[in-house]
Amino acid sequence: MHQAKKGNEWHFGMKAHIGTDADSGLVHSLTGTAANVADITESAHLLHGDESEAYADAGYTGVAKRPEFQGSDVVWHVAEKRGKLKKMEEGPRKTLTAQRERVKAQIRAKVEHPFHVVKNLFRHRKVRYRGLLKNTAQLFTLFGLANLVLARRLNPSPCS
Protein backbone atom coordinates (compact mmCIF):
# COMPACT_ATOMS: atom_id res chain seq x y z
CA MET A 1 0.00 0.00 0.00
CA HIS A 2 1.14 3.53 -0.59
CA GLN A 3 1.16 6.42 1.81
CA ALA A 4 0.41 9.99 0.82
CA LYS A 5 0.21 13.21 2.79
CA LYS A 6 -2.81 15.42 2.22
CA GLY A 7 -2.53 18.58 4.25
CA ASN A 8 -1.17 17.49 7.62
CA GLU A 9 -2.81 14.05 7.51
CA TRP A 10 -1.29 10.85 6.22
CA HIS A 11 -3.46 8.45 4.24
CA PHE A 12 -2.74 4.89 3.18
CA GLY A 13 -4.49 3.50 0.17
CA MET A 14 -4.92 0.82 -2.40
CA LYS A 15 -6.93 0.20 -5.55
CA ALA A 16 -8.94 -2.77 -6.67
CA HIS A 17 -8.82 -3.30 -10.44
CA ILE A 18 -11.49 -5.70 -11.67
CA GLY A 19 -12.39 -7.30 -14.97
CA THR A 20 -16.05 -8.13 -15.44
CA ASP A 21 -18.13 -9.98 -18.00
CA ALA A 22 -20.15 -7.55 -20.13
CA ASP A 23 -23.23 -9.79 -20.23
CA SER A 24 -23.55 -10.98 -16.65
CA GLY A 25 -21.58 -8.31 -14.79
CA LEU A 26 -19.73 -10.96 -12.77
CA VAL A 27 -16.10 -10.37 -11.79
CA HIS A 28 -13.64 -12.75 -13.48
CA SER A 29 -10.34 -11.10 -12.53
CA LEU A 30 -9.06 -8.89 -9.73
CA THR A 31 -5.78 -7.24 -8.84
CA GLY A 32 -5.04 -5.12 -5.80
CA THR A 33 -2.36 -2.47 -6.11
CA ALA A 34 -1.06 0.52 -4.24
CA ALA A 35 -2.99 3.72 -4.84
CA ASN A 36 -0.17 5.30 -6.83
CA VAL A 37 -0.20 2.59 -9.53
CA ALA A 38 -1.74 3.76 -12.82
CA ASP A 39 -4.80 1.90 -14.05
CA ILE A 40 -3.30 1.24 -17.48
CA THR A 41 -0.44 -0.84 -16.03
CA GLU A 42 -2.92 -3.45 -14.75
CA SER A 43 -4.86 -3.80 -18.01
CA ALA A 44 -3.15 -7.04 -19.07
CA HIS A 45 -4.13 -8.72 -15.77
CA LEU A 46 -7.82 -7.87 -16.18
CA LEU A 47 -8.42 -9.87 -19.36
CA HIS A 48 -8.99 -13.61 -19.30
CA GLY A 49 -7.94 -14.15 -22.92
CA ASP A 50 -11.20 -14.89 -24.72
CA GLU A 51 -12.28 -11.28 -25.16
CA SER A 52 -12.91 -9.79 -28.54
CA GLU A 53 -13.80 -6.34 -27.15
CA ALA A 54 -12.82 -4.51 -23.97
CA TYR A 55 -14.40 -1.36 -22.55
CA ALA A 56 -12.45 0.93 -20.26
CA ASP A 57 -12.60 4.40 -18.75
CA ALA A 58 -10.36 7.33 -19.67
CA GLY A 59 -7.61 6.09 -17.33
CA TYR A 60 -6.79 3.45 -19.93
CA THR A 61 -6.16 5.87 -22.82
CA GLY A 62 -3.51 4.42 -25.13
CA VAL A 63 -3.85 0.86 -23.85
CA ALA A 64 -3.98 -0.64 -27.35
CA LYS A 65 -0.49 0.76 -28.07
CA ARG A 66 1.11 -1.00 -25.09
CA PRO A 67 3.61 -3.78 -25.91
CA GLU A 68 1.60 -6.51 -24.18
CA PHE A 69 -1.30 -5.95 -26.60
CA GLN A 70 0.68 -5.81 -29.85
CA GLY A 71 -0.68 -8.51 -32.15
CA SER A 72 -3.75 -8.97 -29.96
CA ASP A 73 -7.21 -9.25 -31.50
CA VAL A 74 -8.89 -7.34 -28.65
CA VAL A 75 -10.69 -4.19 -29.80
CA TRP A 76 -10.43 -1.53 -27.10
CA HIS A 77 -13.26 0.95 -26.52
CA VAL A 78 -11.76 3.57 -24.22
CA ALA A 79 -13.79 6.53 -23.03
CA GLU A 80 -12.74 9.95 -24.22
CA LYS A 81 -11.45 12.35 -21.64
CA ARG A 82 -14.19 14.70 -20.54
CA GLY A 83 -12.24 17.85 -21.45
CA LYS A 84 -11.78 16.66 -25.03
CA LEU A 85 -15.53 16.33 -25.52
CA LYS A 86 -16.19 19.72 -23.94
CA LYS A 87 -13.70 21.42 -26.26
CA MET A 88 -15.45 20.20 -29.39
CA GLU A 89 -17.57 22.82 -31.12
CA GLU A 90 -21.31 22.25 -31.23
CA GLY A 91 -22.64 20.37 -34.20
CA PRO A 92 -23.44 16.93 -35.53
CA ARG A 93 -19.93 15.61 -34.89
CA LYS A 94 -20.11 16.49 -31.19
CA THR A 95 -23.61 15.02 -30.91
CA LEU A 96 -22.50 11.77 -32.54
CA THR A 97 -19.42 11.56 -30.32
CA ALA A 98 -21.54 12.18 -27.21
CA GLN A 99 -23.93 9.39 -28.23
CA ARG A 100 -21.02 7.01 -28.80
CA GLU A 101 -19.58 7.86 -25.39
CA ARG A 102 -22.97 7.26 -23.79
CA VAL A 103 -23.13 3.76 -25.28
CA LYS A 104 -19.61 3.03 -23.97
CA ALA A 105 -20.61 4.29 -20.53
CA GLN A 106 -23.70 2.08 -20.43
CA ILE A 107 -21.59 -0.99 -21.08
CA ARG A 108 -18.88 0.08 -18.60
CA ALA A 109 -21.54 0.64 -15.92
CA LYS A 110 -21.65 -3.14 -15.37
CA VAL A 111 -18.24 -2.82 -13.70
CA GLU A 112 -19.67 -0.56 -11.02
CA HIS A 113 -22.28 -3.07 -9.77
CA PRO A 114 -19.77 -5.31 -7.94
CA PHE A 115 -18.25 -2.20 -6.34
CA HIS A 116 -21.75 -1.20 -5.20
CA VAL A 117 -22.24 -4.57 -3.54
CA VAL A 118 -18.84 -4.51 -1.82
CA LYS A 119 -18.97 -0.89 -0.69
CA ASN A 120 -22.65 -0.37 0.08
CA LEU A 121 -24.15 -3.77 0.86
CA PHE A 122 -21.08 -5.22 2.60
CA ARG A 123 -20.06 -1.77 3.95
CA HIS A 124 -16.42 -2.25 3.01
CA ARG A 125 -15.42 1.31 2.21
CA LYS A 126 -12.08 1.55 3.98
CA VAL A 127 -9.32 -0.97 4.47
CA ARG A 128 -7.10 -1.26 7.50
CA TYR A 129 -3.39 -1.08 6.88
CA ARG A 130 -2.56 -4.79 7.06
CA GLY A 131 -0.42 -4.95 3.97
CA LEU A 132 -1.27 -5.19 0.32
CA LEU A 133 -1.27 -8.99 0.22
CA LYS A 134 -3.73 -9.45 3.09
CA ASN A 135 -6.03 -6.67 1.90
CA THR A 136 -6.02 -8.09 -1.63
CA ALA A 137 -6.91 -11.52 -0.25
CA GLN A 138 -9.85 -9.94 1.57
CA LEU A 139 -10.92 -8.25 -1.68
CA PHE A 140 -10.90 -11.62 -3.45
CA THR A 141 -13.31 -12.93 -0.83
CA LEU A 142 -15.56 -9.87 -0.98
CA PHE A 143 -15.77 -9.81 -4.76
CA GLY A 144 -16.39 -13.56 -4.81
CA LEU A 145 -19.33 -13.05 -2.47
CA ALA A 146 -20.46 -10.09 -4.58
CA ASN A 147 -20.54 -12.46 -7.57
CA LEU A 148 -22.91 -14.69 -5.61
CA VAL A 149 -25.19 -11.74 -4.84
CA LEU A 150 -25.17 -10.58 -8.46
CA ALA A 151 -25.68 -14.11 -9.81
CA ARG A 152 -28.71 -14.55 -7.56
CA ARG A 153 -30.18 -11.34 -8.95
CA LEU A 154 -29.65 -12.68 -12.49
CA ASN A 155 -31.27 -16.06 -11.74
CA PRO A 156 -33.59 -15.83 -8.73
CA SER A 157 -34.43 -19.20 -7.23
CA PRO A 158 -38.05 -20.34 -7.55
CA CYS A 159 -38.25 -21.08 -3.80
CA SER A 160 -37.77 -17.49 -2.64
39-48, 65-74, 76-85, 139-148: which has the highest mean pLDDT? 139-148
**Is residue 12 within 8 Å of residue 129, measured between CB atoms?**
yes
Give the Cβ contact number of residue 158 at 10 Å. 5
Q: Where are the domains of the chain?
A: 2-154
pLDDT for the residue numbered 128: 79
The pLDDT of residue 159 is: 67
SS3 11: strand
- Model confidence over 9-52: pLDDT tens digits? 876 788 899 999 888 889 999 999 988 888 888 888 888 878 88
Which residues neighbour 119 within 8 Å (Cβ) at sequence distance 6 or greater? Answer: 125
**DSSP secondary structure of 27-46:** EEEEEEEETTS-GGGGGGGG
- pLDDT for position 97: 87
